[in-house]
Amino acid sequence: MNPFIEIITKPDNIAIVIMIILVSFFMAWAFLQAFQNDKLMALGQGVDGERDQDVDTYKPLVRIELIIALVVMVGLTVWSILVDAPLEEIANPTITPNPAKAPWYFLGLQELLVYFDPWLAGVVLPTLIIVGLIAIPYIDINPKGNGYYTFSERKYAILTFSFGFFILWLLLIVIGVFFRGPGWLWYWPWQEWDTQRVVFEPTRDLSTMIGIDSRSIGGFIIGAVVVLGYLVGGMIAPYKYFKKKFPEFLEQMGMIRYSITMFLFITMMSIPIKMILRLVFLVKYIWITPWFNV
Amino acid sequence: MENDNNKKASYRGYVFAILSVALLGLSAWVIWNDEFGLRPWKHYQKEYKSLKHDKLEKEYQQALRDFQTSGDAKKLAALQTQLKQAQENFKKKEVHDRYLQVSARLDDLKAKIAENQKAMQTVRGQYLETEYYFTKNQKPADKARMDALQKQIDSIDKEGKAMQAKMEPLQQEQLKLMGDIPAIQTQIEALQKPLSEKKDRIANNESAPIEIRQRMISDANKADRCESCHPGMEDSKDVSSKQPYSKHPLSFVYLGNHDPAKFGCTFCHRGQGRATTTIEKAHGNVEYWDEPLLKGGMTQTSCLNCHGDIKDLRGAESIIQSTELIRKYGCYSCHKIPGYEGMGDVGPELTRVGTKVNYSWAVNWLMDPKKYSSMARMPKFFFTQDQAEAVADYLFSMSGTTRHDVDYSSETPDEKLVEQGKVLWSQARCNLCHVTSGRGGNHIKMYAPELSKVGSKVNKTWLFNWIKNPRQYSESERMPQFTFTDQEINSLVAYIVSNFTDDDAEVNYTTPQPISAASIKKGKDLIQQYGCYGCHKIEGMEQVQVAPSLRAQGVTFLKSDEMKEKIGTELTSIGSKPVELLDFGKMKKTISNDRLSYLKQKLRDPRGFRLGLRMPNFRLSEKEINELAGVLYGFTDSNVPTRFLVPSKTEIDKMAKVAPYQFTGDFAKVIETVKCTNCHTIKGIGQDYAPNLTFAGSKLQEKWIRGFLANPDVIRPLLQQMPNLGLKLATVKSKITMPKFNLNKQTVQDTNKSDVDVVVNYFQQELVSPDIPKNIPVISDMSMEQQIAAGKALYDQKGCMVCHQIGASGGAVGPNLSNVGNRLNPGYIFVNLENPRRFKSDVVEPTYGFTERERILLTNYLMTLKLNNSDANTK
Amino acid sequence: MNEMFDKVKKNLIWKSVFRRDYRNTVRDRAAAIFGNVFLHIHPVKVRESAVKLRYTWGMGGITFFAFIILTITGIVLMFYYHPTVSHAYEDMKDFEFQVPYGVISRNLHRWAAHFMVIVVMIHMFRVFMTGSYKAPRQFNWGVGVILLVLTFLLSFTGYLLPWDQLGFWAITVGTNMGAATPLLGYQGPFSEFLHITPYNDVRFALLGGATVGGNALLRSYIWHCVAIPLVSIILMAVHFWRVRKDGGISRPQITDKETTL
């Protein structure tokens, strides 16, 4: 069978296909409505739903709830009839499947293991994701766009969230499910998986690029300067910029809110940065310390 | 607004209705599917029941017809009239009244007896209680009470007995009054029984529930539901020969020895025992199930799971035949296989091969052994000319020789010598083991080399030394040493060299050429890379075989086979190796990805999976591939409960710390030269191509042994030898018998005893059974002549001649008895007649259950059957 | 037809269950909501936007419905399942081959679980896109994020229960991350300062052992069937309650805007 069809018809992966379809559909729908509302607002008209009246809960809402429940039930039943839940061989600690994949919704994190050490990819980043998500309402002080789809009124919030949600979370999941084969090597869907395939990727550390051993004190210092410089500089530079251009915005934000927002933002941006460093410049570590590596 | 809402509402009503109907339909489908779609066994069981019904019904009808035609029906009618008559008699007033009277009195008595027994129980209880107190306290009052109670007991007992006595006449009278009724009724029942039984079976079949039938093996966590679809598996007779309704083939062997309630199905047949929904799932032919069903002869591979020794295992015939291939090709030389440790080398020693063969021959052989002989067992290593030369260079350099060939084709052989050699060749029965020009090699399991072209392979000097004493060249050589004179050997060499030649043989190095050091180095590397030392002894190669773990401890030299590191993958549990761990490589798309297909493909084309594999190609036939893969499939790290395991004799001996038997003294030396155990089994050592000699001393007469060793003759008919020897029928032209080893010519150092004396002596000292008496009991009331005559009568009467031959008449299944009086000891005949399986378990001869007297008579008769020497020789 | 309806509706049993006739009056429509233990989580009247599919996509409701399906099928599965190494896998096989409606129950459970994870993510996306986390709903967004994490964890702990290669190694890979926790995982940074070994680190606590084994199976089972559902239900109650108390489904605020009507 065609390896691509084989991989997408694996019972568990059907869920991912469904996810891709659903997410794309709703993404399109959300942005469509957002642009429509933006257009309405540009014309000076009220957004969708602004003139809504109250209606009885019984029956309009109850009915639509029941219909949705029925649709879901029918859909799930059909899915369950057509596709059997997978059950592989009995657990055997002595046979490690290659690749050993985490549950699909964690494959984004597993994909990050290529670029970060486990303590970052598996612990620190997920924790920051949760903390960051909870923090969103408190750091987003833009009062507009509450209760309707809009893009123009909260461009930066939506772009940042979409980048994190679609690219860093969902796209990495899709890559982990469909494009990663034995040895966590990249396989195009039409490529045959080969457990014996070895890809030798010479990697280096950042300081070795300029000829300093990354495990030496010099390398340590360079790494520390780069990492801490990124964190501190990433917070100070925009601060200077905002102070000059939008002082009132900075005032509204306040110092604490600004630092938390900026910290979360630059941490998120460190993921694509590290990915590019790794993929384009073959950099494995930026900073090597006796305790941890970044 | 309201209007709009309503419109929407009605529209949603339709959606609601459609969805509800859809869900209802889906639910109905789920219910139907769960009831029927997922339970195909219901259909099979129904079909089975109807087949069984038809069969039982047929049997019943047949029985009914038999009943009518055999006259039983008439008998029944007559009995029924009799019964009617008897009943009418019984119904007569005076009889009936009397019967009622007697019955009433009997009932009365029974009630009284019951009362009596109850009273007895009470008093006895009291008595026991008092007795307890008395033994405890020793009070005289208790003693008195005991006596009183004893009296009471006695009186009650007396009363009871009296009543019992009264009952008996009453019961008899009752029976008498009933007349013949009970007797007739029993007769009728007996007559109807066969029919009613058949009817019951039909009813039982009818009421048998349709349900999942499973065999639970709780300690192995198994639930084998195979019989849900194969309900007739445990039947003694087929309901239908069609699957899934038929019974288990040869069930008296397989199920008889492995009660399905204890063993289930999947220990032997694999497959997915729990599965019931589809054939593919149940048979395990699905993804994520590594154990597909084993069918037919393949199933015998499972015997290896539990049976340590399958040599004489009934029902394991095809796997026994297949395991022979492991021995033939010496798989254990490169792979670790349990039970094949210390088997010795498959190939000849190569340390001094440079003194033996032509260089050109060696190179050609290395490149393709089958080109030289189609019977060659050595596999093809796909060496290039350069590589083959390098390997040959290394081997030749070991014996300090150069690249050299000898060519005898231009020589004119000494005709007289050759003729002499030819006679000797057939006298010594060389063809028994060796094949020449498609003839001989009857002992195919001996795997002696084919000699058709050997004259163009080896040189005369080597050949001479070899025949003189094979063990001088290689210590572990199996070929017996014949005691030929030098003159005889010369004639044999002349015959072989002049007769068995290869016209296509290359001889490129009649003028020797020196060997380059680089080539030697390359050859050594190749030998190490491909592990030639696995099958051949090559001195100096031992250190490379030391297992790395031992090498780390500083061990540099191998002392025993266990320390050897095998070059190939361990095969101990290849039959249960997870499919994920098998590397299908390039063949992933070409062959089906299961274990058996992998094994077959590996045997077919060992290096086809990917580059860099080392296993050579044995060029097995498809039949051999199937057989060998089947055996390998049985090497599992089985999850069989230990209670199933049947250890082999060697394992038991090991556990019991019984040392294996060892030959002693001069006899050990004889064994070493003549290699008796190549064919005979003695005290559990050796092969079973020839008769077991463990009790030869008790069995055979000394004179006969001497005569036989001097001039061996056929004893057993071919028919019987064939299954043991694996004879190739087409090649059998001459009778098969033992080669002549000229033992009488050899004398033991420092004594003037010949080897024959040694053998006879050892037979009589060591190879005796305490169960076999020297002499048989004597019958005193008959003269010897009478006894012999009676014995002969018995021989004729029991039909012995059907199998045995005496003189020119008789059958050819058992041994020829014409000369048995000279051959066997009377004690052996006497004991063997009692139970022919006593000394050899697979003997055809039935146990007749002779009385001791009959055995004496027969023995005495048989002991008279003697041929004189000249007769024996002309035969 | 009407007569038949009357017969069904005008008897003691019907009345005892539904208490009143429904005549499609304002009062009866309201009573249908507050008189019903399941429906009274809703207000009697809602903004039209709450009814519009294009606004809410029904994602929160679908998530909850998936949770209900999972609870029901989960209970069915629990009847037949033993969380022990020797039985778990065989029980899975029995679901397929022997248990009545075992196949459909297990399939529904598995696919509904995947579905719930997908839907809960889309729900979050919708709430973000409509800015519904903004005042006064900040707290409820936080509750929602925790529910999202709990959904992942519910699915994750259920992965091991079939005791097959898929689940076993997914859990092994997943929990190996725990070993890398800074300070508390034995492979994590600074753990040597706390004398952390494979036998006292976070992963050990998660698995009840240094490797995935019988204890891990039991722990997964308890987290999956008892602990996490319990916490989820409590948080769901909070979540739903706060939806209503924070003003129902979010909607455009028109206070500071001039309507062009």
Nearest CA of chain B to the CA of C140: how many Å?
Answer: 32
Domain membership of residue B729 (yes or no) is no
Nearest CA in chain C to B580: C165
Domain check: are B757 and B804 in the same one?
no
Q: What is the pLDDT of residue A29?
A: 95
pLDDT tens-digit map of A7-62: 888 888 999 999 999 999 999 999 999 999 999 999 888 888 877 788 888 888 88
Domain check: are B474 and B362 in the same one?
yes
Task: Say which range, A143-147, A183-187, A239-243, C256-260, has the weakest mean pLDDT.
Answer: C256-260
Residues of B in contact with A67 (CB under 8 A): 12, 15-16, 19
If pLDDT is split at 50, 70 and 90, which confidence band does C251 have? confident
Distance (Å, rounded) from C-alpha A97 to C-alpha B288?
A: 12
Of A79, A90, A292, which has the smallest distance from its Cβ to C164's Cβ?
Answer: A90
Distance (Å, rounded) from C-alpha B840 to C-alpha B814?
A: 13
If pLDDT is split at 50, 70 and 90, which confidence band does C153 have? very high
Q: CB–CB of C97 and B275 under 8 A?
A: yes
Of C43, C93, C112, which has the smallest distance from its Cβ to A57's Cβ?
Answer: C43
Q: Does C55 or B874 have the greater pLDDT score? A: C55
pTM: 0.81
Domain check: are B594 and B687 in the same one?
no
Domain membership of residue B811 (yes or no) is yes
Q: What is the pLDDT of residue B606?
A: 93
Q: What is the pLDDT of residue B732?
A: 39
> Domain-by-domain residue ranges, chain C?
1-38, 46-245
Distance (Å, rounded) from C-alpha A36 to C-alpha A48?
A: 8
Nearest CA of chain A to the CA of B19: how many Å?
Answer: 6
Q: Write b or e for each residue in C83-92: b if 16 or more Cβ atoms lie within 10 A of its Cβ, otherwise e.
A: bebeebbbbb
Q: What is the distance in angstroms between the CA of the first residue and the CA of the last residue of chain C? A: 47
Q: What is the distance in angstroms between the CA of the first residue and the CA of the last residue of chain A? A: 42
Q: Which residues of chain B have pLDDT under 50?
A: 1-2, 717-734, 870-875
Q: What is the pLDDT of residue B212?
A: 92
* B215/C contact by beta carbon, under 8 A: no
Give the CATH fold of the C46-245 domain: Cytochrome Bc1 Complex; Chain C (1.20.810)
Domain check: are B337 and B357 in the same one?
no
At CA B648, angle to CA B647 and CA B651, rounded to 5?
A: 80
Residues of A in contact with C62 (CB under 8 A): 68, 72
| DSSP annotation of C146 | H
Q: What is the pLDDT of residue A105?
A: 92
Residues of B with CB under 8 A from a CB of A: 1, 5, 8-9, 12, 15-16, 19-20, 22-23, 26-27, 29-30, 33, 288-290, 578, 580-581, 583, 585, 588-589, 610
Angle between helices B486-499 and B415-427 (to 10 degrees): 100
Distance (Å, rounded) from C-alpha A73 to C-alpha A48?
A: 30
Tell me which residue range forms the domain holding B695.
Answer: 665-718+734-765
Nearest CA of chain B to the CA of C87: how many Å?
Answer: 8
Test mutation, B31, B34, B218, chain C, max C CBs within 10 A: B34
Test mutation, B38, B272, B291, chain C, max C CBs within 10 A: B38
Domain check: are B708 and B818 in the same one?
no
| DSSP annotation of A58 | I
**Mean predicted lDDT score pLDDT of chain A:** 89
Which whole-number Å values give the CA distances from B753 to B55, B154, B469, B671, B749, in the listed order? 75, 89, 21, 16, 9
Domain check: are B702 and B603 in the same one?
no
Q: Which stretches of C130-189 are DSSP H helices? A: 138-160, 165-176
Residues of A with CB under 8 A from a CB of B: 53, 55, 59-60, 63-64, 66-67, 70-71, 73-74, 77-78, 81, 86-89, 92, 95, 97, 192, 195-196
Percent of chain C at pLDDT > 90 equals: 56
Domain check: are B708 and B788 in the same one?
no
**Mean predicted lDDT score pLDDT of chain C:** 89
Nearest CA of chain C to the CA of A202: how many Å?
Answer: 25
Q: Which of residues 280-299 of B touch C (CB under 8 A)?
A: 281, 288
The CATH number given to whatever domain includes residue B679 is 1.10.760.10
The pair of structure tokens assigned to C25 is 């009056």
Evaluate the CA torsion angle B634, B635, B640, B643 in order and state its sign: positive
Burial class for B572, CB neighbours closer than 10 Å (0-12, 13-18, 19+): middle
As for how many domains chain B has, the answer is: 5
Of A64, A70, A92, which has the smallest distance from its Cβ to B19's Cβ?
Answer: A70
Residue B435's beta-bridge partner residues? B440
- Cα B680 → chain centroid: 19
Nearest CA in chain B to C93: B274
Domain check: are B377 and B526 in the same one?
yes
* C24/B contact by beta carbon, under 8 A: no
Place of tokens 């015998």: B300
Domain membership of residue B321 (yes or no) is no
Nearest CA in chain A to B20: A70
Test mutation, C97, C104, C108, chain B, max B CBs within 10 A: C97
Stretch C66-79: mean pLDDT: 96
CA atoms within 13 A on the CB side of B114: 6
Q: CB–CB of B290 and A192 under 8 A?
A: no
Distance (Å, rounded) from C-alpha C5 to C-alpha A137?
A: 52
Domain check: are B388 and B525 in the same one?
yes
Domain membership of residue B772 (yes or no) is no
Nearest CA in chain B to C92: B274
Q: CB–CB of C58 and A68 under 8 A?
A: yes
Burial class for B65, CB neighbours closer than 10 Å (0-12, 13-18, 19+): exposed
Of A47, A89, A122, which has the smallest distance from its Cβ to C165's Cβ?
Answer: A89
Residues of B in contact with A77 (CB under 8 A): 23, 26-27, 30
Burial class for B6, CB neighbours closer than 10 Å (0-12, 13-18, 19+): exposed
Of A84, A106, A158, which has the smallest distance from its Cβ to C174's Cβ?
Answer: A106
Domain membership of residue B653 (yes or no) is no
CB B456 within 8 A of CB B358: yes
Domain check: are B490 and B627 in the same one?
no
Q: Which stretches of B33-139 are DSSP H helices? A: 40-69, 72-91, 93-137
Q: How many helices (H) does chain B have, and how many strands (E)?
A: 34, 8
Domain check: are B616 and B474 in the same one?
no
Domain membership of residue B204 (yes or no) is no
Domain check: are B572 and B461 in the same one?
no
Size of interface A-B (CB pairs under 8 A): 52
CB A73 within 8 A of CB B24: no
Residues of C in contact with B225 (CB under 8 A): 97-98
Stretch A148-153: mean pLDDT: 92
Test mutation, C42, C111, C143, C211, chain A, max A CBs within 10 A: C111
Task: Say which range, A224-238, B558-572, B644-658, C35-49, has the weakest mean pLDDT.
Answer: B558-572
Look up residue B314 and give its amino acid.
R
Among residues C152, C122, C132, which one has the least CA distance to residue C239?
A: C132
Which chains have 3 or more CB–CB distances shorter than 8 Å to chain B?
A, C
